[in-house]
Amino acid sequence: MISHFLKRDLKDSMVFWIILGIVTALILVAYWRSPSVSLVFILGNLYFVFPFFVIQNVAGSILRTDQMISRQYFLALPVERNLFFKITLARIIIFFLPFWILLTISGPNLFPASKFNSLLLSSLFYLSYFFGTSLGLLWLISNQLLYMLIVEKSLRFLTSKKRFLTNLLPLLIFFLEGLVFFLCFYLVFKLLIGSTSQLNPGILLPLVFLCFLIPVGITLITLRVTKKRWTSIA
């Protein structure tokens, strides 16, 4: 079942993958001839936008073309719904892999070990960076799925005012959660690499743990709400 959908994803998005590969090769050649942070920034934006061309087709939605498969069809398949939700997440994550790999590679280059006061701080920072970027992408994907479901719900209202209000609150929550994520990661950055890195490990480690505990909680709650709504036809 999983391999069937993975093959379908690859076939349906082959053109996008080919274009992405060609543009990546051109940017890498340009970077090799003249290294520039702007080229990496352009590549990062390209990788970030890429999944959104296919995410709706993978997840299924009422807002679809004749070539897309609806979510109701997915839920009618002889697969346990919670399992299929996990399969859907895995299928979407594949399209975010180029962006995730770029972020993972960029970390050590943007923050070399020489910037840290000790091997412990640098190791802790790289582990935190890897975990934070992975968690952030999982949170982003779950939010995208959740917002698609909210758009489906808003289509049931006859007045534009109700549709607007139905879409507005989730957007405000999304930006608020994003702000919390940014502040938590920024605090980790300041604790491990900034002027406060001289803190006693007995204080430093609990603060870093707390900074990641909050985003983890937000992500788990978002995933739980998304799974509950996605696996329900109503």
pLDDT tens digits for range 161-177: 677 777 777 788 888 88
Neighbouring C-beta atoms of residue 41, cutoff 10 Å: 10
138: Cβ–Cβ under 8 A, 6 or more apart, which residues?
A: 89, 93, 219, 223
Model confidence pLDDT, tens digit, residues 80-135: 778 878 888 888 888 899 999 988 888 777 777 666 667 777 777 788 888 888 88
Q: How buried is residue 203: exposed, middle or buried, by Cβ count under 10 Å (0-12/13-18/19+)? A: exposed
Model pTM greater than 0.85?
Answer: no
Q: Which of 165, 132, 131, 166 is nearest to 146 (CA)?
A: 166
Where exactly are the structural domains of the chain? 1-110, 114-234
At residue 199, φ and ψ (nearest 5 deg) are -60, 150
Distance, in Å, from the CA atom of 184 to the CA atom of 178, rounded to the nearest integer, reads 10
Q: Is residue 182 predicted with pLDDT exceeding 70?
A: yes
Q: Tell me which long-range contacts 199-207 makes (C-beta under 8 A, separation of at least 24).
A: 201/120
